[in-house]
Structure 1
Amino acid sequence: MTGGTQGIGAACVARLAADGAQVVFTGRDKEAAQAVTASVPQTVFVEGDVTSEADCRRAVDAALEIGAGRIAGLVNNAGVSARIAFEDSTLADWNRIVSVNATSAYLFTRHALAGLRAGRGAVVTVSSIAGLVGEEGLAIYTASKAALIGLTQALALEYGAEVRFNAVCPGQIATRMMAKTLAIPGRREMLESRIPAARLGTPEDVAEVVAWLLSSAAGFVNGVAMSVDGGETAGFMTPETPSVS
């Protein structure tokens, strides 16, 4: 599990541990990681940078040691976002966002693949509804999340007889990443108004889907990009109009 110290990642760690999994998770926030390991049994924290191949190897090696060469599941969750007008963006912005969001998934999946094949495991990669539809001001983020869906589908075709690959695409989830957005007066209400479920999602909403996709109950689900968005991407919500009498 990458990015397991907060938000969706921490919720996934707790949910998978509740299912009896021994979870190895990564992150850079030691204090947050200690809070996770203190509250969730059967967890091992490996500090590191998900864009560093050496750090990725260390985390995968820890999982292989625990699993005696087998890995039952991998969750690629690490991610960053930045709302930047495309014309104001720089190559440094591109490299940072793509490295954390997409390159990390490549590195972890590549190094875990042998263990996943040995364990007949499954991979769930956390993309976003921004990987399915564009969003103004999020061109780089959108590109990185769309790349994860393409990677998922290609690997499902290449290794589907041994390892299942699926993606989840969260919508508006109330996490620390959204804190600044939600602090803007009226923004929460605006976001909820365009979601058929009439609420923001929680990290636990996403964790439930991740756990299911990793489980044998989803044994015939492969190559899917599953939205977890309360219906936001199902279509356009029609504003209420006054009745005509």
Structure 2
Amino acid sequence: MDDRARVAVVTGGANGIGLACAQRLSGDGFHVVVADFDAEAGPQVTAKVPGAEFVPCDVRSPTDVRRVVDRALEIGQGRLHALVNNAGQTARVRFADCDEATWQRLHDVNLRSVFSFTQACLEGLTAGHGAVVSVASVAGLVGAEDLSVYSATKAAIIALTRSLALELGHVIRFNAVCPGQIATRMMARVQADAGLRAVVTAQIPAARLGRPEEVANVIAWLLGDEASYVNGVAIPIDGGESAGFRQPKPSGTTGERVSPGKAP
């Protein structure tokens, strides 16, 4: 490996935000190790991400986590420069109806994976003066009806990120991003239903769903030198949705903004 090359690990990198992040980091000169549960997606990922290496991984498995990190350390000759904790799942279920298996699955995939990968990467990130970005959610900043368990795991990621910045911020930077309504597989139902999409986007000042690459751009910035003094933050990437309450629009209106000086 070129001694100047930087190594990044991206979990959940086979699609959506993870894939967009892997593509962006590859374009920025990182050698990207992509970890994902979908083993069959490997050839597609390496075709879309130049120079990437795909390692099948169940983020709930300590053995799989160790295999991914060991491979990244081998490529980086003991140094790691970036970790993106992106692996995640959701479950839309009312709290009263949530069983323990669902709670445990979301805890293991969303939160425990952040613990496992971050801890396994600490030595390499210290050697490489690296940075960590964990993908939380706006649902971790505010409550979300029928998503209480998901929200709890994402809020924990934010708290963990801030605590790690306090403990280890002198050698590794830790930050989180909090995506809102992003056009990924998790939002397939919204994207396929025009009526539902209109309801969802009516609550977003930007009046649209976000794109995975828009999240990846912020992650890449947080991992780069331009954000060298940014540590312990959780940045919403939600088109303004978490800024506050919006006034409901009358039925039949589009909610189009009116420019100053322009008559409605």
When normalised by structure 2's length, the TM-score is 0.89
CA distance in 2, matches of 1:31, 1:204: 23
Identify the match of residue 68 of structure 2 among 49, 59, 69: 59
Identify the match of residue 83 of structure 2 among 51, 68, 74: 74
Q: Give how far 1:178 is off.
A: 1.0
Residue of structure 1 equivalent to 2:56: 47
Identity of aligned residues (%): 57
Is 1:137–2:117 an aligned residue pair? no
CA distance in 2, matches of 1:206, 1:185: 23
CA distance in 1, matches of 2:116, 2:191: 33
CA distance in 1, matches of 2:146, 2:239: 22
CA distance in 1, matches of 2:190, 2:152: 21
Q: Which has the larger displacement, 28-37 or 78-87?
A: 28-37
Q: Give how far 1:39 is off.
A: 2.2
Contact kept, 8 Å, 2:42 with 2:55, in 1: the verdict is no
Over residues 13-47 of structure 1, what are the superposed CA-to-partner deviations in whole Å (9 max), with x where a residue is unaligned? 00000001000011122332211101221201110
| Residue type at the aligned position of 2:61 | S
Gaps of 5+ in 1: none
Residue of structure 1 equivalent to 2:123: 114
Q: Which has the larger displacement, 26-35 or 47-56?
A: 26-35
CA distance in 1, matches of 2:224, 2:234: 16
Residue of structure 1 equivalent to 2:18: 9
Residue of structure 1 equivalent to 2:233: 224
Residue of structure 2 equivalent to 1:199: 208
Q: Give how far 1:240 is off.
A: 4.1
CA distance in 1, matches of 2:30, 2:105: 31
3-state DSSP of counterpart to 1:195? coil
Is 1:148–2:157 an aligned residue pair? yes
Residue of structure 1 equivalent to 2:218: 209
Residue of structure 1 equivalent to 2:259: none
Over residues 184-209 of structure 1, what are the superposed CA-to-partner deviations in whole Å (9 max), with x where a residue is unaligned? 45111111111111110010010000
Identify the match of residue 239 of structure 1 among 237, 244, 248: 248
CA distance in 2, matches of 1:55, 1:28: 10
Residue of structure 1 equivalent to 2:188: 179
Over residues 75-104 of structure 1, what are the superposed CA-to-partner deviations in whole Å (9 max), with x where a residue is unaligned? 000000010111111110100011000000
CA distance in 1, matches of 2:108, 2:193: 29
Root mean square deviation, CA, Å: 1.2
Over residues 117-146 of structure 1, what are the superposed CA-to-partner deviations in whole Å (9 max), with x where a residue is unaligned? 111100000000000001110011000000
CA distance in 1, matches of 2:113, 2:198: 34
| Residue type at the aligned position of 1:167 | A
When normalised by structure 1's length, the TM-score is 0.96
Residue of structure 1 equivalent to 2:198: 189
Over residues 153-188 of structure 1, what are the superposed CA-to-partner deviations in whole Å (9 max), with x where a residue is unaligned? 000000001000000000000101110233345111
Is 1:168–2:177 an aligned residue pair? yes
Q: Give how far 1:237 is off.
A: 1.5
Gaps of 5+ in 2: 1-9, 254-264
CA distance in 1, matches of 2:36, 2:168: 28
CA distance in 2, matches of 1:164, 1:185: 41
Report the count of equivalent residues.
242
Is 1:93–2:102 an aligned residue pair? yes
Residue of structure 2 equivalent to 1:103: 112
| Residue type at the aligned position of 1:171 | G
CA distance in 2, matches of 1:86, 1:195: 26
Contact kept, 8 Å, 2:21 with 2:216, in 1: the verdict is yes
Residue of structure 2 equivalent to 1:37: 46
| Residue type at the aligned position of 2:65 | C
| Residue type at the aligned position of 2:188 | A
